[in-house]
A and B are shown apart, each in its own frame.
Chain A
C-alpha cells in the first residue's frame, strides 16, 4: 500500500518535471540546475499533499469542537496565503536562488579550513543501521534547537518585533503555523543551518514521518478544544498546550509553552503550563494593526519597519 502510494507520488513528480519543468529549464539555459529543480518539484508535490492531509484532518476537528466561532474569517485567509507560500516551496525556492551562491562560498570556506562537517551517524556509528532511530534523534535535537530559537524570538525586542506577526492572529487556526515574516524564516533557516553543520542535515527520505510531524505542528495551532490527556500533554504539543502560548497574556517575554513538537523542554526549563482546562483568547495586544488585519504583503512591510524601530537606540528626551 505504502509502496503503491510512493510509486504514484514518484510518477506524478516525474510527469510534472519531464513534461513541464525540464523543457522550460532547457529553453532558459538552466539545465545545470535540473537536479535541484527535480527536488523542488518533489518538494512542491509533497507540499500539496501536506496541505491536503493537514486540511482533511484539521478542518473537521475545527468544525467539531471549535474554541471560538467567528462571523468573518477574512483574516484567516492571510494565513492560508502564508501556508501556500511556505509549503509549496515558493519561498524556499526564492531563498535557494538568492542564497545558493552564498551557501557554496560558506561550504567551500568550511571545506578549505579542513573541517569536514560530521553527521550524527559519524558521531554514533551504530545509528547507521537504524536510520529511523537516527531520524528520531535528529528530530529531538532539532526540536530542542527550535525550543531555544523560540525562546529567543520572545526574548529579544527586535526578534519579537518580527515574531509578533505570528502571535498577532486573533483568529488562530491550523493555517497559522506558517505565519512568519520572511526575515524570520531566513533567521530560522540560518539557525537550522548552524545545527546542520554541527550534526548534519537530517535525512529527508521519510516523507510519511515528516508528514506526521507537519500534521502535529499544524494541529497544535488548530482552533479546536482538544488536549492529549494527562500523559499525552507531556509527550506531544497539543492544541491546548500551544494555544496557551498564543494567549494574549503570553506575549513577548512573559511567554509559556515554547515547545514546537515536544513539551519536554518546557518541562525541563520551567516554562511549561499544563492547565488543561484553559483556552485563552489569542493575539498580541501590543501588535500594530497591520499585523492583525493586514494581508501578507502589508505585514511583511510593517515587519521590516517594526524591526528597524526595535533596533534603533531609544531617543533621548
Chain B
C-alpha cells in the first residue's frame, strides 16, 4: 500500500509545476561543496569544507547527507533540504563511504592510507580497521548486508569482507585498476580504469567475465531510478554509456567532455554527472537528449540530487526499483519492482 502511495506521489509530481531540485556537488579540487538550483541551472552557494571532499551518501533514515572530507579527516553531516552543516566528526581519511543496506554498518574506504574502516552506523564508533595494501577505492554491499566488496585500485583486485566477523574472506584478481563497483542482480559490476570494459564478478564462484565495454578508462556505473538502465562512465574516452540493465547490452553512447565521473538522477530520470577535468556538471535528459553544463568548482567528484517535490525525500533513490542495484542494493526495492513506478517521463526515444 505504501508503495502504491509512493507511486501515486511520483506520478502526481509530473503534473506539478517544475520545482527546483537541489544538487550538491563535491569540489575535490578547491575544498568546497557547490549547491545548485536545478531549474535556474546555476550555483546558488558554496559550502566551505576543510580540504578535499570526494564522496557522499544519504543516511538510512534519509535525514542527512554524509560527506567525506578525506584530506581534512572529517565527515560532514548536511541537512539535504537546506544544506546546513548539522555536525562534524573527525575520522581517518574518509574517501569512499557506504552504509550497509540494513543500516547497521558504515564502511569507509581510505585510498591514501590503505585501510578499510567499519563503523557502527548508529554510534559511528570504529569497530574494525582492515589493512588493504593497494589503494582501497570503492565499496559495494550485498543486498543481505552480509558482505562488503572493495576495489583495490592499485592491485587489480576486489576484496570481500564478511561483515559478521569483520574479516577479509577472499581477494580476487579482476583486472587493471578497478574503480567503481556495484551489486547488480547477483553479481558485482566493476569498472576497470586500465581497460575499456566493466567486468562481472560472481561472488559465489569468483568467476570474472567481461560484462560490457564503454571505452578506455572504464570508471563507474549507476542504475537509473526505474531500474531499466545502467549508466557507465569512461574517463579516458570521456563518455557515458547507457546499458540495458537486463541484457547488459550497450544501447547508446553519449560523448561528453571532461572525464565524467559520478552520476546522480532526479526523480524524472535526468542525469547529473560530474565532469572531473573541466570543473562542470553535466545535465543530460536521456529521454530527449537535451543537455547542458553548469560551472562548479575544481575537480567535481561526488554528486547528489535532493528532490523538491511533495512526498519525495533525500532517500528517494533507495525506494526506487533501481535501488535493487548499486553500492547499497536494497532488498526492499527488489520487492517493489512489481508495483513501483517506472520513470515519470516517457521511455527514452531511440
Q: Identify the A interface with B (CB < 8 A).
A: 7, 10-11, 13-14, 17-18, 22-23, 26, 29, 31-32, 34-35, 38-39, 42, 104, 107-108, 111-112, 116-119, 121-122, 128-129, 131, 200-201, 203, 205
Contact = CB atoms under 8 A, between A and B. Distances in A.
Contacts, number: 104
Given A14-B278, A26-B236, A31-B193, A107 B298 contact: no
Given A31-B217, A104-B114, A111-B93, A119 B51 contact: yes
A209 B127 CA distance: 42
Contacts of B176: 29, 31
If over half of A's interface residues share one DSSP class (helix, strand or loop), that class is named, otherwise mixed; here it is helix
B112 A111 contact: no
Contacts of B129: 111-112
B50 to A, nearest CB: 6
B31 to A, nearest CB: 5
A204 to B, nearest CB: 8
A108 B71 contact: no
Nearest to A202: B51
Given A108-B115, A121-B50, A38 B93 contact: no
Contacts of B135: 32
B72 interface: yes
Contacts of A122: 50, 74, 90
Contacts of A121: 50
A107 B193 CA distance: 26
A107 B113 contact: yes
Interface residues of B, number: 45
5 contacts: A18-B259, A22-B236, A34-B193, A117-B73, A203-B50
Given A14-B258, A107-B113, A119-B73, 14 more contacts: A14-B277, A17-B277, A22-B259, A23-B216, A26-B217, A29-B176, A31-B193, A32-B194, A34-B193, A35-B299, A119-B72, A128-B50, A129-B48, A200-B51
A10 B48 contact: no
Contacts of B295: 7
Interface string B236-280: 101000000000000000000111000000000000000011110
A131 B48 contact: yes
